[in-house]
Structure 1
């Protein structure tokens, strides 16, 4: 029935059977306290099991196994004993001798040993430590059987006859009454065991529901995490949109200020009788110049005797410098004539114009007539004799005096 051979190992809680839990009561408060203890301190003592066929059955440590399943532990420590079913049930009773089984649990245990393991009542009395009730060896067989039987069923709080058949055949009313009480007790035990099975089934359903709740909580936490990430991304996009809006507003204000400044300058120039236009010089004639603005149609400006041409930007290239000198010299010759007296600064300019390599005026031939129109430098307007001559592709800023029809062209020379 039993042996002293034991072995300790780790096993998954799902691999442990609980067939003997039918003779134990399961109190929810005690189960909750065991779960808290395992969560705080871990497993202190191994679970007691025995081998039943190809599996393992628990006979001590049901609350620890259920708590480990609830906590999703992968393994628990178990101690296996070389016992059969009857020995495991007796060991269950001995393991709980300190705290003690309830009368109902002891009644379930005795009933299981008597009906399932087919032990006799004297054997049950001896295994459960009730053999001290037998005091004399010379007692007749009925007394030897009655005393252990009475001692065993006293644990369950009932008095019963030896068998149902003897009680039904007995002429003693007390015997028949005891048989009826035993029958009622067995029915009560059966109902209690069925209730225990229903409670165990309900516990398994509750565990499944709790597992589903945990899955739902994990799914909810994952969805909340995704929602927080999307919210952070939306806030970042809103911040970027606000920054772009602020940048666009600043640029708009800057452009408005620039437009306002340009309008104010144009207003002041209009008040002084001047007009300014910026663009490319597309055509130059002796009496007018054509300027193409960046947008809109080309503008024509008539050039009179007081026309002035000044470059707004001087390039460092030698060709551009020589062309500017030619341009300014042409303007000076128009103003003072070929033989007129020039101021000191303008004499220096005339002297600079007569450097080697520069085109020199010949007799009374206008300077612009000696230049090939297709070889004119970009960005220059040459004025000689009666006015401006061919210049194509140059940028200029022109200011016209409305009353005197005075136009000033400022060619824009490219930088190197």
Structure 2
């Protein structure tokens, strides 16, 4: 049986990517069924820590893996690296003496434990709660009053609260106000457009720089604009050096970076750095940056497989992937951004309507991000040149590359 692996992002309350939930997906048909939770989780574990490689799947972040009573009690679970995983105990698990004893043992070994899909707490949870690190609450299943009551009851224990199925900024703000430390869902990738909203000055300067690059301005203009952005220049050099392969020495000046990289490569880094701009609250759009970078690299890889000799098409594909979340980042309608950038028609259609080959491939990537494997499996045959196995390999390579870029930006000086 083939096994496909999905990852749902888990963010902190400043939209920084802190973990993933690892999802089991199986069968080459358009149906996903899980009849044995233990077997499903075991397959996730085998794939994640075996052939795929943990660094490719989740980087330096933690992976939440669902476990039922069978897997929890199985000794093979102790083969998992405790610094990389959170064991997410399913709601169906009976909290009996054997489970309490097992959780206590795993806790002593240094494993983190989470409760999955919690909607209420009764007396049977009192014994296990002191052993739990994270409680995942199903937001959609609760009224506001029931949610308030549950959160109040959970304050008896020093646990972290994780909101599941957060699908809008409004819900996210409500959860943060209730002191949830983590949120899971795709709210962060959805644009929140406010009429007449002014762009953050730090983002505006980056957009100006992007325009200079896209419109093929003189190298001197690009260099001068970067000189007014010392923090940006520093991050740019870190990113360039982290991704540079085979260079005899470190690139230590913007002018040299421009000379060595050329305009197209510089354009890529500027696009990515838009997402690394400091926000007014002091945080960064870490999750957006990671997602946009993976999209760019993966779209480029698909373009290479599709048109191996068309470098211009490959460059456009990368740009579409990275720019696809710019409306979310800046709070500006995508048509306005597309008009401002004056990009080519196939790129505009991809960003605005998901039409054309680039648009179709972008929609495919978006479906995969959300764990919608049925849609992915139905869309891949339309491409005609990419199997599911090849697509996952390209996605993992793009993810590993994005992790390196993100780490270069986020590391302390």
TM-score w.r.t. structure 2 length?
Answer: 0.21
Q: Specify which structure has the bigger relative contact order, considering alpha-carbon pairs within 8 angstroms and separated by 6 or more residues.
A: 2
TM-score w.r.t. structure 1 length?
Answer: 0.21
